Amino acid sequence: MNDNRSGENNLKRGLNFIEAIVEEDLKEGKNGNRVHTRFPPEPNGYLHIGHAKAICLDFGIAERYGGKCNLRFDDTNPIKEETEYIESIREDIHWLGYDWEKREYYASDYFGQLYNFAVDLIRKGLAYVDDQSSDLIAEQKGTPTVPGIESPYRSRPAEENLSLFEKMNSGAFPEGSRVLRAKIDMASPNMHMRDPIIYRIIKHPHHRTGNRWHVYPMYDFAHGQCDYFEGITHSLCTLEFEVHRPLYNWFIDQLQTDDYRPRQIEFNRLNLNYTVLSKRKLLELVKEGKVNGWDDPRMPTLCGLRRRGYTPESIRNFVASIGYTKVEAINDVSLLEFAIREDLNKRAPRVMAVLNPLKVILTNYPEGKTEELETINNPEDESMGVRTIPFSKEIYIERDDFMEDPPKKYFRLAPGREVRLKSAYIIKCVDYKTDEQGNILEVYCTYDETTRSGGPDADRKVKGTLHWVSVLHALEAEIRLYDRLYSDPDPSGHRGKDPKTFLNPDSLKIITGYVEPGLKNSKPLDHFQFQRVGYFNLDPDSTPGRLIFNRTVPLRDTWSRGQASGT
Ligand code: ATP
Ligand code: MG
């Protein structure tokens, strides 16, 4: 009853289950009322949108409860880790809007403490050196229903273990020849408790400690203890670590000197349809040239999303909208696209760009005349002001905004019909020209001078309004139309099939379009709404002589209506 009521109360206050636990702990005065979390990436790749879910939680909880959040690089495996990744991780967390101040730590900061702890366990008879191969050790682990087999080295005397472990570390033995194992329980129903390997020999130099160590702790032996060394109060991680928790607790039992211990709480991972979220698989895409690097705008990495035109706010809003639970689920990528549309609707100026041009000639417009017409930057936000765009006798409209023989409900341009040119005049189609195959080459219209803004017929209504650019003034631009990287909703969900089998062959289409001239002053990553087309941003590779725009998202969700999102 009581539980139920506090549950309802938490929901009302918008608390997720983790925040509710943290508040309970604070109410009970645990850990001297400290809240201290950490975000622990392994620097073996770039961060992706799944990591954003963890980052928003780790930093968000600290923010909400006046606590701290550490950045800790989990660099226990010297083979896969690189400083390039460390730098990108820092940049991406800052970009998302979070800061760890001076608290940047590395699992390798604790190699000494972890080594001493391992020596301690050996002395207490709680760890031993096993000379068997890792294959054999794996075989002896048993299955969840069949207990494991004890290693013949399990009862080695502590002195012998100590001397062997020291020799492992001094480089006396080859990789793979021996490991250090915790001595727990080979019959435990929890497989992780069956004498897990805690140290292995690796002779590859470490990016921070060089050749100082020849033994390296396993992730499971480092993670919980690093939390403990840093005074972490709430160690938040994804659900797959739930079964590791008893092991982490067992290590902390051996270390603990007072009441303090980190509390691990697991939550559901972020999974997205049409997307792969695994650093290993993303690295394959980069290495095999399936994409143009980690920051390719089709990648679900934070740097890829940034280059695509996603804002940190949109990612945080998306993460908040899906929430944190104990149940694994696959989220619809259209929710992410919804979040960026909603954000850019507020902040992106509306501009004119024609992606598939058709020339319209205004037969009654004076030759050589140019006008500067005023237009508002964003109807959602008047503070964004106004600008002018040049108008002249020849303009481009979108090819599919004209039809020779339109159906009844077509309200765009057609012979004899009128449309308004956005922020300009009403025009009427009087003629058009085709080639021998019947392709439309040019359209001829008259314009009505009285319909100009401020003119007597400025308010005259017609059914269609088209975007346009002046042929004389428009700038040519390379337009990169990105689409989903995979055409299958669950690319990793096919047994025995590489997700790369399901790459969408049309995930990038490059075309040449025309944009209004003011865009030559835009800066890398500036956002725009190309009116009636979609959201775009200026690619960082753009130069004044070669403008490049990336499509962030089309204006509407065309996928959910079962169509490919074309231009
Ligand atoms: P990957 O499978 O992509 O390699 P990882 O879990 O191995 O991811 P880490 O660098 O170890 O990557 O992750 C750092 C933190 O981010 C961990 O606490 C992890 O639980 C969390 N994390 C990773 N992927 C996701 C995800 N998809 N959703 C939520 N949190 C995630
Ligand atoms: Mg990991």
Tens digits of per-residue pLDDT, 30-61?
A: 999 999 999 999 999 999 999 999 999 999 99
Buried b (16+ CB within 10 A) or exposed e, 469-494: bbbebbbebbbbbbbbbbebeebbee
pLDDT tens track for 449-465: 999 999 999 999 999 99
The verdict on whether 290 is a catalytic residue reads: no
Residue 501 has pLDDT above 70, yes or no: yes
Amino acid 5: pLDDT:
63
Round to whole Å and give the CA distance between 141 and 294.
Answer: 38
Q: Dihedral, CA atoms, 110, 113, 114, 120, nearest 10 degrees?
A: 180
Amino acid 559: pLDDT:
53
- Top-level class of domain 353-467: mainly beta
Ligand 1 atom nearest residue 278's Cα: 3
Ligand 1 atom nearest residue 53's Cα: 29
Buried b (16+ CB within 10 A) or exposed e, 43-61: bbbbbbbbbbbbbbbbbbb
Which residue out of 39, 223, 238 has the highest number of ligand 1 atoms within 8 Å of its CB and is therefore the one to mutate? 238
Residue 567 has pLDDT above 70, yes or no: no
Q: How confident is the model at residue 321 (pLDDT cuts 50, 70, 90)?
A: very high
Amino acid 558: pLDDT:
59
Q: Span 279-349+477-561: which CATH code?
A: 2.40.240.10
- Superfamily name and number for 2-267: HUPs (3.40.50.620)
Q: Are 316 and 305 in contact (CB under 8 A)?
A: no
Amino acid 1: pLDDT:
41
Amino acid 446: pLDDT:
98
Amino acid 14: pLDDT:
82
The verdict on whether 42 is a catalytic residue reads: yes
The one catalytic residue among 38, 279, 316, 417: 279
Amino acid 538: pLDDT:
98
Residue 281 has pLDDT above 60, yes or no: yes
Round to whole Å and give the CA distance between 131 and 116.
Answer: 21
Q: Where are the domains of the chain?
A: 2-267, 279-349+477-561, 353-467
Averaged pLDDT of the chain = 95
Round to whole Å and give the CA distance between 158 and 109.
Answer: 27
Which ligand neighbours the alpha carbon of 269 most closely? Answer: 1
Q: Is the CB of 223 under 6 A from ligand 1?
A: no
Average pLDDT of span 325-341: 96
The one catalytic residue among 90, 141, 269, 422: 269
Q: How confident is the model at residue 6 (pLDDT cuts 50, 70, 90)?
A: low
The verdict on whether 279 is a catalytic residue reads: yes
Tokens encoding 115: 């080594």
Of 74-88, 358-372, 428-442, 517-531, give the lowest mean pLDDT range.
74-88
Residue 157 has pLDDT above 60, yes or no: yes
Instruction: Give the total residue count for the chain.
Output: 567
> Does the predicted model carry a pTM greater than 0.75?
yes
Residue listed under structure tokens 């002896």: 140
Amino acid 139: pLDDT:
96
- Rounded to the nearest angstrom, the distance between the alpha carbon of 71 and the centre of ligand 2 is 14
Amino acid 565: pLDDT:
33
Residue 564 has pLDDT above 80, yes or no: no
Residue 27 has pLDDT above 60, yes or no: yes
Amino acid 566: pLDDT:
35
Amino acid 82: pLDDT:
83
- 279-349+477-561 and 353-467: same fold? yes
Instruction: Return the DSSP state at 135.
Output: H
Residue whose CA is at the smallest distance from ligand 1 atom 22: 51
Tokens encoding 457: 């017929």
Calculate ∠ Cα 224-228-231, nearest 5°: 135
